[in-house]
Amino acid sequence: MPFFKKWYLSSDALIKTGATDKYNMRMNTISRNSIFIGLGLVINMVLAAQSVPSNPLSIPVYHPMVLNPAFAGSKDFTNISFTSKIYNNLGSQIINMHKRLTSSSGYFSNIGVGAYVFQEQMDQSWNTGVAAAGSYHFAIDEDNVHNIAVGASIKGFLNIPKSNGEASEDTVSSKFNPNMDFGVYYYGPSAFAGLSITSLFGTKITNEVTIESDAYIQREYHLHGGYKFLLSRNNAIVLEPSLLVSLNDSTFSEIPKHLVPFLKVYMQNFYVGTYLKNLDIIALFFQYQFPRFYTGVFLEFPRVGFLNNDNIIFEFSLGINLGQSGQKFLQYRHW
């Protein structure tokens, strides 16, 4: 079997190639109720998140389902992940979960599900909310290695004014905004590409909610794709350049300003990455995969000048992958 088929198997490819029946048996032994109960406990402990959908840029790194609901279920294991700022604005955190459902026979179905909860601390208020996503996955080759998924999510945002008496006039009362996301996602052994629309209905502008309001969320369009280049088969070193484009209705004429190239280098259970948003910002992110969980760090800071609370983004990420076979992942397929 080619290295990439071992290294980055899709859910259907894992079943088709019979990677292990033990894997499917293990998946059956995991209680779905316990997964969601555990997720709920963490949510109750957290009740917080970073800007949604694309600021800061750690969301496409650690939580791509937030940008594209079709990503839900694209891995052959259940993923639960949590990211929190640990320097300045500690109220900015996010938690999400996604998995591929299994059939009564114990094999994967074509349906993926996911959810996330967030609460973003603004200057005068809080934006908090929840989303639930569903996706359907189609295999486009006989080996079930190349797949296309379509997905949608239903979400609701609630803008809550702070109780310190400093709330502005446009956040005097809590504003609830239901919304939806749609997306299409291709993934295979070495490439991925997704196209999505987030906050499809935008936010209705009223006398109380203006463009400058914390409660105002724009409709956005995202294109994200990349390719993995094998550098060393023996050491499992892979280079992955990718590109993210995020636009709203007012920035379509400024596409070149919103092109953000990413670069990741995978080295077995570790990867390091960066992206170029502008020449004045340095960004670094890392992640290491332990046998049962993974951790990551995301940094963004100015290239020159003094560092302070207003110009540093420092985030910590923690996650678990349920359903892996044995103590270690097969050929680092968790990436």
What is the rounded CA–CA span in Å between residue 13 and residue 17? 6
What is the rounded CA–CA span in Å between residue 316 and residue 299? 9
Residues 64-111: tens digit of each pLDDT: 999 999 999 998 788 899 988 776 655 678 899 999 998 877 788 999
Q: Taking all residues of the chain, what is their mean pLDDT, rounded to a whole number? A: 77
State the pLDDT at residue 76. 78
What is the rounded CA–CA span in Å between residue 63 and residue 205? 29
State the pLDDT at residue 124. 73
Residues 121-162: tens digit of each pLDDT: 777 777 788 999 999 999 998 888 899 999 999 998 887 777
State the pLDDT at residue 5. 37
Between 198-212, 234-248, 290-304, the lowest mean confidence (pLDDT) is in 198-212
* Mean pLDDT for the stretch of residues 36-60: 46
Considering the entire predicted model, what is its pTM? Answer: 0.78
Residue 169 pLDDT level (bands cut at 50, 70, 90): very low
What is the rounded CA–CA span in Å between residue 175 and residue 208? 9
- pLDDT of 42 > 50? The answer is no
State the pLDDT at residue 212. 65
Q: What SS3 state is found at 28?
A: helix
State the pLDDT at residue 56. 52
CATH of the domain at 41: 2.40.160.40
State the pLDDT at residue 192. 96
- Structure tokens that stand for 21 in this block: 């029946």
- Structure tokens that stand for 95 in this block: 């938690």
Between 129-143, 173-187, 224-238, 262-276, the lowest mean confidence (pLDDT) is in 173-187
State the pLDDT at residue 152. 98
Specify the higher pLDDT residue, 151 or 215.
151
Total number of domains constituting the chain: 1
State the pLDDT at residue 304. 85
Helices and strands, counts by H and E, the chain = 6, 15
Cβ–Cβ < 8 Å for 177, 156: yes
The range of the structural domain enclosing residue 132 comes to 3-332
State the pLDDT at residue 88. 60
